[in-house]
Chain A
Amino acid sequence: MRRIRKRQVAAVLALAAIVGAFAVPAAAVRAGSTGLPTKIGKGEGRLNVIEWPAYTDASFAKKFEQQTGCIIHRKDAGSSNQMFALMHANGGGGGGQYDLVSASGDASLRLIYAHDVQAVNVHLIPSWKQFLPVFKSPPHNTVGGVHYGVSLQWGPNTLIYNTKKVKPAPKNWAAIYSKKYKGKLTVPNNPIQIADAALYLMHTKPSLGIKDPYELTQAQLTAVGQLLVRQKPLLKRYWNYATDEDTSFKNGDVWMGAGWPYQTLQLQANHVPVKEIVPLPTTGWADTWMLAAKAPHPNCAYKWMAYVTTPQVEAKQAIVFGETPVNPKACPYMNKIQKGSCAGYHLNEPASYYNKIKFWKTPVPTCGWKKGNGCMDYNAWQQAWTQITG
């Protein structure tokens, strides 16, 4: 117990150092004196979650409700910012109403720094030990060694192409910035797409000095914006929903574009001649079930985190939603539901593969790689994206 506390205090101090101006001085005392639960108590009969639609899909949540008696009440969110706003409303910390939030990497850090989520004892989640190493303590949900939730599912951003039209096959992300397939390309309509271009420039234009695609200075953001403005005339469209991208591939308007494994599998199921590559390094997204700071039903929340990360449930959710589990033991169960889906969703790759995926994280004013507040925040990204697409 003492050891845990000591580690915690150190962690919170480290967190405070990183957060700088945003940290509340009292935070260290508060978290230090709370301590983590050492066992999961009796369920409270109810669980209130803020989720991506279908993240507590009845196909696997029904069994949980029967087993634990924790009845799930859902609030679907449409964007990371909406999730954050919901958690931060009514005094923050989930407002004493919400227990869990399935935050993506572009919101999770903000939730931690704003004290809306609390530390989680990952040793109460048995499957945590089975996770892929990169998802045990990733920087988007673990700060200074303190976990603020458990990783859940993830996906790489992939390059999808029509095998009949695009010859030879593309090898890297340069394909979506090249004039060769002008008017036949598509990319997502999302400010976080700036990070993809930043990652590309990080390797093709080292003089810009980009160290982290999510931590850009004003000059770097401007340079990335210029690349995206040059890319725009090459595009058929920006896609808004995964089904939009599918449609454009299906009817031949688009031959190549950035997407997710989900689209590739959907298109292949419809006999559209497409393949995908994951040109490394690439960006990707990863979601975390995070525990609200004022969670009224913490036991049910812990029970859910333990349940949803088991291999069988991970496999089911992956197939329902079209994403990849963090628990590699889910592989055989995925193949049982849909043949070849484990490899299709890249769950059987070596560790070197996962290390080359730069997972989404919120752009914040503090840069990790240089001193002070020299980086552009998410609002600046949003404005830059409107400027590019407008």
Chain B
Amino acid sequence: MAADAGALAAGPPWRRARLRFSGLLWRRPWLKALGLLAPPLTAFLVVYVGAVAVLFISSFWTVNSFTAAIEHTWTLGNYRLIFSSGQPYLHIARLTLEIAAAVTVTDAVLAFPLAFFMARFAGKRTRAILFVMVLLPLWSSYLVRIYAWQTILAHDGAINWALRGIGLPGLNLAYTNTAMWIVFSYVWLPFMVLPVYAALERIPDSYLEASADLGARGFKTLRSVILPLALPGIVAGSIFTFSLTLGDYITPLLVGGPSSQFIGNTVYNYIQEANTPFAAAFATIPMAIMGVYLLIARRLGAFEAL
């Protein structure tokens, strides 16, 4: 004790202060945790939770159509409008959900064999090359990729050019919901490949050997051993593909057709027209959908695979 006091008293004042401070942090570990977590926690609470709360609150307000001023009177009018039968909003929400689901299934089907090959068969070099190829599109602008697809899908674009070249009639792809499905599936594919790869890589070889020893053929092993173990990875990837599609509004704008309005487009239009309360109310729909989706995903063990 006396030696301690002597050491503390010895150094210059700034050094003593520093030692006292680190001593305090050592005696009170919660203080250290707080110091480390305070900046990200504040950002999370203020920026994220705060913004979402304000969004939710404003969804119960209305806007004066003439002065465009927000009227702070509580009403369920916005929600009533969304859910009333004659209105287009449920139809828009359904289209968004359907495309998001279709994109997720497509990406899972495309990603699984690729990830399986990368995780189990590819050598070090091949794997690295495949990784770069999967990630390469992410290094270019999202907008540029969508515009590229615009020209690929166009009436006189690459696909129709190839089809006509082999004597087949051209397809009517440009500006349709099919075009949106193709482009979304392409854009979000890397987000599915990576978690599925991570899940497949973690399956020990011994499991597959055990399965074979017990007499299971390749398909049986795939169905009963590999797929169940890869499922958390697929679900984790689906969180990305599903939520990213659900919230998008640029792809429908650029490659969609006359009936390709997404939730995001409607929200954007209403914000542009200064009707923020309605936009906020409509924006809570995908948030609610994602809430339910995440609960199911957690049940399926997706978060352990992330």
Q: What is the distance, in angstroms, from B146's C-beta to the closest C-beta of chain A? A: 12
Q: Which residue of A lies closest to B150 (CB)?
A: A247
Nearest Cβ in chain A — how far from B264, in angstroms?
A: 13
Decide yes or no: A390 and B92 within 8 Å by CB, A79-B273, A240-B253, A252-B154 being known contacts. Answer: yes
Q: Are A382 and B273 in contact (CB under 8 A)?
A: yes
Instruction: Name A237's contact: one of B151, B258, B273 (CB within 8 Å).
Output: B258
Q: Which of A341-390 contact B (CB under 8 A)?
A: 364-365, 377-380, 382-383, 386-387, 389-390
| Proximity bits, A237-278, B CB within 8 Å = 1, else 0 | 110100010011001110000000000000000000000000
The answer, among B65, B92, B150, for a CB contact under 8 Å with A378, is B65
Q: Which A residues are in CB contact (< 8 Å) with B88? A: 386-387, 389-390
Whether B274 pairs with A84 at a CB distance below 8 angstroms is yes
User: CB-CB < 8 A to B257: which residues of A?
Assistant: 235-237
A247 to B92, CA, bound (A): 26
Cross-chain contact of A386 among B155, B157, B174, B266 (Cβ < 8 A): B266
Could you say which of A82, A236, A252, A380 contacts B272, with CB atoms under 8 Å apart? A82
Within 8 A of A (CB), among B168-207: 172, 174-175
B95 CB, nearest partner CB in chain A, Å: 8
Chain A interface secondary structure, helix, strand, loop or mixed? helix
B156 on the A face (CB < 8 A): yes
Complex Cα distance, B262 from A66, in Å, reads 47
Closest to B89 in A: A390
Distance in angstroms between the alpha carbons of A382 and B266 in the assembled complex: 10
A85 CB-CB contact with B under 8 Å: yes
Q: Does B73 contact A (CB under 8 A)?
A: no
Q: Which of B65, B91, B157, B172 contacts A377 (CB 8 A)?
A: B65
Which of B87, B172, B269, B275 has the largest number of chain A CB atoms within 10 A? Answer: B269
Q: Mark B256-291, 1 if CB is under 8 A from A, else 0.
A: 111101000010011011110000000000000000
- Of the four ranges (under 10, 10 to 19, 20 to 34, 35 or more), the interface on chain A belongs to 35 or more
A286 to chain B minimum Cβ distance, whole angstroms, is 20
The distance from the CB of B258 to the nearest CB of chain A, in whole angstroms, is: 4
Given B66, B254, B259, B272, which contacts A232 in the complex, CB threshold below 8 Å? B259
Residues of chain A contacted by B261 (CB below 8 angstroms):
386, 389-390
**Which of B88, B175, B270 gathers most chain A CB within 10 Å?**
B175
Given A88-B67, A382-B275, decide whether A251 and B156 contact each other with a Cβ distance below 8 A: yes
Is B69 part of the contact surface with A, judged by Cβ < 8 Å? yes
Given contacts A81-B68, A244-B254, A379-B65, contact A251 B154 (CB under 8 A): yes
For chain A, residues 76 to 91, give those with C-beta under 8 angstroms from any C-beta of chain B: 78-79, 81-82, 84-85, 88
Known contacts A253-B155, A382-B275; 11 additional CB pairs below 8 A are: A81-B272, A114-B66, A232-B258, A235-B257, A251-B151, A251-B156, A365-B65, A378-B65, A379-B63, A379-B275, A389-B261
A residues lining the B interface (CB < 8 Å): 22, 78-79, 81-82, 84-85, 88, 110, 113-114, 183, 191, 232-233, 235-238, 240, 244, 247-248, 251-253, 364-365, 377-380, 382-383, 386-387, 389-390
